[in-house]
Structure 1
């Protein structure tokens, strides 16, 4: 694989395949691994590389050089296979191991075995769905540690024409606009003098309470 970031996705069910294809679309090189030979053959040419072997087999992971990847996503439905893959990846020096967990027990065991991040696809999707129902402006929602969240929203109409410093969101709501997508341009840590325009997509970080207060008022 070349100089692009390299990811391995172990388990190509709905979650794993979606993650793999999204990474490819973002310019990364992706190795997809699944025990289903028919599935991996159907994905040839769609992912950078696809192989089929039992993910619990250390030799298979060694043959694909799993320790050389920037990150590994483990998206296996089988609890034993998921935990074994997590342990084997940790032993081989993978620095970023993302595990799709079945439940909290699975998550706790995965963390102990070396997972650096755990996701609950159904729970996270439920939270995104609820956020979209509660907030008419919400575009996306990311759950960080504790009560800290990032929400992506379309700029409220009442803020259009105001500058970032004039809106004074940090003082009023204890939230921070960390990026703004204006048309095709994305501004990270935007200038305080930037004036919000209709259709701007704001990426805001704050606690659940501060974001809720902001949403209530706007």
Structure 2
């Protein structure tokens, strides 16, 4: 993620977590909030932390906001400020604007004013809960456009102690394995093994991360329960 530049506006728990994660991944992050205490708490974790009123387009323009690869608007306490900030970003022709919606009504309003990318935590939480109820082995589920999905799932017993070449996830189920997470012997924590290949063997207690169409993933889970 080198040379990527992002701005995060609204430094509550959600916005701060995004800003820190982007910075940890090597991005140049501009963190913005109207609350000085929130800015101070994040200033050592990001490239720039600025206290300003983001509803004023002139303030954003002074930070060269239009040069960012993307801007995340994560204002959670004042929907009017979120709307005004988003509108200011649109007026400044920011290339990519991602806005957090707190509920379905906010989501509809954001859609009406032309926001293309909306983060709906309600949708993500409900999707994860539903998946975990239907498939207890599923640890995480992310819905993507066009009926695609990424899931973290405990490796089904039927595929353990077999190589990926032997299992044939793509050939049999039309899904792709992104990576494998395996528990370390020393610290007991799960670690990513990197990019797997046909010789990678799945072992008991592994967590696999797979990508594919939702119906293909459901079929894989159902067959291998």
TM-score (norm 2): 0.81
When the two chains are superposed, the root-mean-square deviation of aligned CA atoms in Å is 2.4
Is contact 1:15-1:121 (8 Å) kept?
Answer: no
Aligned residue in 1 for 2:202: 196
Aligned residue in 1 for 2:18: 19
Which whole-Å CA distance do the structure 1 matches of 2:55 and 2:149 have between them?
Answer: 35
> Does 2:191 match 1:212?
no
Mind listing any 5+ residue stretches in structure 2 that lack a counterpart?
Answer: 183-190
Q: Say if 1:199 and 1:25 are closer, same or farther in 2 by CA, change over 3 A.
A: farther
Aligned residue in 2 for 1:65: 64
Is contact 2:16-2:42 (8 Å) kept?
Answer: no
The superposition leaves residues 104-124 of structure 1 with CA deviations (integer Å, 9 ceiling, x where unpaired) of 343244345453321112331
Which whole-Å CA distance do the structure 2 matches of 1:181 and 1:4 have between them?
Answer: 28
Residue 26 of structure 1 deviates from its aligned partner by 1.9
Is contact 2:179-2:192 (8 Å) kept?
Answer: no
Is contact 1:83-1:113 (8 Å) kept?
Answer: no
Residue 152 of structure 1 deviates from its aligned partner by 1.9
TM-score (norm 1): 0.83
Q: Secondary structure at the match of 1:186?
A: coil
Q: Secondary structure at the match of 2:86?
A: helix
Mind listing any 5+ residue stretches in structure 1 that lack a counterpart?
Answer: none
Runs of 4+, deviation exceeding 6 Å: none
Figure out how many residues of one structure are paired with residues of the other and give that number: 214
Q: Say if 1:82 and 1:178 are closer, same or farther in 2 by CA, change over 3 A.
A: same
Is contact 2:75-2:82 (8 Å) kept?
Answer: yes
